[in-house]
Amino acid sequence: MSDNEPKSSFELAMEKLRAKDRQSGEKSPAALTQQQKQDIAACRGKAEARLAEMEILFRSTRAAAAAEPEALQKVEEQYARDRRRVEERRDADIARIKAGKKRKA
């Protein structure tokens, strides 16, 4: 883009954020290696597969518990807890990969 062309509001906002980061002393994020990108994609794929499996199981369990409000509430709470756990694990693994750390055995 040449200097004469008008910038979009997105580009202007990003410039302001970069300037703010430079003033506060923050470094720009390092570029990810190809291996890190592959590891992140694999991590996301595994998490999506787990979530899809959980969704299928949740739907069948919810259908079985539909007649009992207390049981239904328990099933929904458990599903929300399990889903949150998988998402948090995925996010932690991605942060670890971006930091360049090895996974604990």
Other beta carbons within 10 Å of 45 = 11
Question: Distance between alpha carbon 28 and the CA centroid of its chain, in Å?
Answer: 20
What per-residue confidence (pLDDT) applies to 7? 83
Q: Is the pLDDT of residue 41 over 90?
A: yes
pLDDT classification of 14: cutoffs 50, 70, 90: confident
Q: E strands within 1-105?
A: none
Average pLDDT of span 40-69: 95
What per-residue confidence (pLDDT) applies to 101? 75
Residues listed for the chain = 105
pLDDT tens digits, residue range 15-29? 888 888 788 776 666
What per-residue confidence (pLDDT) applies to 103? 61
Contacts of 90 (CB under 8 A, 6+ apart): 43, 44, 46, 47
Could you please report the per-residue DSSP string of 5-40? Answer: SPPPHHHHHHHHHHHHHHHHTPPPPPPPPHHHHHHH
